[in-house]
C-alpha cells in the first residue's frame, strides 16, 4: 500500500485507547498521517499517542464521549479549529451488552445505542459535513479534483447474523452497516468514501468490558473472563483488522468482512438466511 496516500493526511479515530482503535491509529500514523486519537478514557488515548510518538508519528490525544451529542459537536469544532478538516474519520468506539432481550433494560439499550449507533451518527454527521463543505467551497480543477475524504464505521460480523443472546449488540451493528450504505450513496457526489468494517472475533477487550444482563455481579465477572478467554483463543490480533481498515480506505471499499467468521456470516446472510436463524438459537461465545 503506497505510503503517499496517507502521508500528510489528518485522521480522527474514536475508541483509540485500545483494540482496533489503537491499532488503526498506529497503522495510519506509521504511513505518515497525523492522527487525532479520541477516547472516553483520556489516559488510554495518551498511551496510544506515546506509542505512536515512539515511532516518530504525530498523534494528538483527546477525551470525548461519542454518545454525548454536545461533546461531539465541541470535539468536531475543536479538531477543525486546532488542526483542519479531517481527511479520514474512523468511527470505532463500541461496547457490548450481552444477554436476552427480555432481560435488557432501557438503560442498557440507551447505553449501547448511544455508543455503537449514535456515536457513529455523530462522527459521520459532523465530520462528513466538514468534508462535504470543504469540497463545495474550493474551486475544482478538472485535472486535480478536490479530495473529499473517507469515513470508516466499525460494525461487526454480528451485524449480519441474529443471536438470541446478543440482541442489543447485533441490532446496533446491523444499523451501522445500513447507515454506512446510505451514507456511501449520499456522499459519493462529494467524493467522500464510506466503508463498513465487519470483523469477527478478534483480540480486543470487548468481552472483558461487556455488560451481561440478568446476572449478578459475580456471575457477570465469570462470563467476562470466559468470553475474554474465548476471544483470545481465536488468536486474531487487532493489528490485522487495522491493516484491512487501511486497505479499505486506500481502495474505497464499501463493505469489509474480516476473518473466517466475518466472511462466513456475510456469505450466509446472502445465500442462506434461514441457516442464520437456526444459528441464532445457539448461545453466543460472548456469553
Residue 151: strand, helix, or coil: strand
Burial class (CB in 10 A: 0-12, 13-18, 19+), 86: buried
C-alpha cell at 119: 456515536
- Residues annotated as catalytic (active site), given as ranges: 169
Judged on CB neighbours under 10 Å (0-12, 13-18, 19+), 24 is buried
99 is written with which cell numbers?
Answer: 444477554
Do 172 and 156 form a contact (C-beta atoms < 8 A)?
no
In a 3-state reduction of DSSP, which class is residue 14? strand
Instruction: Name 195's bridge partners.
Output: 152
Report which of 204, 173, 164, 165 is spatially closest to residue 266, judged by C-alpha positions. Answer: 173
Q: Please report the DSSP string for 165-210 in residue order.
A: T-HHHHHHHHHHHHHHHHHHHHHGGGTEEEEEEEE-S-SSSTTTT-
Amino acid at each position: 500500500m503506497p505510503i503517499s496516500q496517507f502521508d500528510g493526511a489528518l485522521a480522527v479515530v474514536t475508541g483509540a485507547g485500545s483494540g482496533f482503535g489503537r491499532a488503526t491509529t498506529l497503522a495510519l500514523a506509521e504511513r505518515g498521517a497525523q492522527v487525532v486519537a479520541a477516547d472516553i478514557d483520556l489516559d488510554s488515548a495518551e498511551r496510544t499517542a506515546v506509542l505512536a510518538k515512539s515511532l516518530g508519528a504525530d498523534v494528538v490525544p483527546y477525551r470525548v464521549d461519542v454518545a454525548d451529542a454536545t461533546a461531539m459537536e465541541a470535539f468536531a469544532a475543536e479538531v477543525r479549529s486546532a488542526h483542519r478538516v479531517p481527511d479520514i474519520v474512523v468511527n470505532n468506539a463500541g461496547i457490548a451488552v450481552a444477554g436476552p432481550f427480555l432481560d435488557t433494560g432501557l438503560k442498557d439499550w440507551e447505553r449501547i445505542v448511544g455508543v455503537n449507533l449514535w456515536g457513529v451518527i455523530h462522527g459521520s454527521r459532523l465530520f462528513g459535513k466538514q468534508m462535504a463543505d470543504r469540497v463545495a467551497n474550493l474551486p475544482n480543477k478538472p485535472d486535480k479534483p478536490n479530495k473529499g475524504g473517507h469515513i470508516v464505521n466499525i460494525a461487526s460480523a454480528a451485524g449480519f447474523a441474529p443471536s438470541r443472546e446478543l440482541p442489543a449488540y447485533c441490532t446496533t451493528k446491523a444499523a451501522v452497516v445500513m447507515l454506512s450504505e446510505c451514507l456511501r450513496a449520499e456522499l459519493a457526489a462529494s467524493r467522500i468514501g464510506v466503508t463498513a468494517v465487519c470483523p469477527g472475533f478478534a483480540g480486543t477487550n470487548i468481552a472483558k468490558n461487556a455488560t451481561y444482563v440478568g446476572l449478578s455481579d459475580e456471575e457477570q465477572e465469570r462470563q467476562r473472563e470466559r468470553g475474554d478467554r474465548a476471544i483470545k483463543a481465536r488468536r486474531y490480533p487487532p493489528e490485522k483488522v487495522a491493516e484491512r481498515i487501511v486497505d479499505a480506505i486506500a481502495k474505497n471499499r464499501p463493505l469489509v468482512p474480516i476473518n473466517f467468521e466475518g466472511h462466513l456470516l456475510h456469505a450466509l446472510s446472502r445465500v442462506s438466511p434461514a441457516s442464520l436463524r437456526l444459528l441464532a438459537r445457539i448461545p453466543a461465545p460472548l456469553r
